Amino acid sequence: MIPHSANGPFDVQIAPQPLSSVAGESGLLRMSIDKRFHGALDATSTGEMLAFRSATDGSAGYVAMETVRGTLDGRRGSFVLQHSSTRTRGEAAQSITVVPDSGTEALTGLAGRMTIDIAADGAHTYRFEFTLPDGTD
């Protein structure tokens, strides 16, 4: 497996969604995710996020799952990203990984980690470090 990387901007729309009756009084937030990635990852994604914002400024957390469909370095297929991220008084820790064996078509066997950066002006960018099995390069 040869390591690869992809970088670029992405656009994201997040929309509030109703919580289940069980979670209704939990203080959680539920949102839909709709993204458009640009660059070496030329794709769209849809998913769901559960989040919580603390009363302490800058402290929050979220988990999410999103299915990404499009091309990665010219290889067409789809895969699923799993997110788990926290902010502790403004300091971020994030884990965004490809769900094992979620890759399809030319992305079968994809493994990797993504990092998301948000600029002061709200612009979003991604860095994606990934591998594909030999023979798919």
Q: H or E element: which one contains 106?
A: none
Note the pLDDT of residue 137: 45
Neighbours of 27 (CB within 10 A): 11
Residue 35 is inside which H or E element, if any? strand 29-37
Question: What pLDDT is attached to residue 135?
Answer: 60
Mean pLDDT per 10-residue section of the chain, whose length is 137 residues:
91 94 88 97 98 93 98 96 94 95 97 94 95 70
pLDDT for position 21: 85
CB 70 within 8 A of CB 81: no
The whole-number pLDDT of residue 90 equals 86
Q: pTM above 0.85?
A: yes
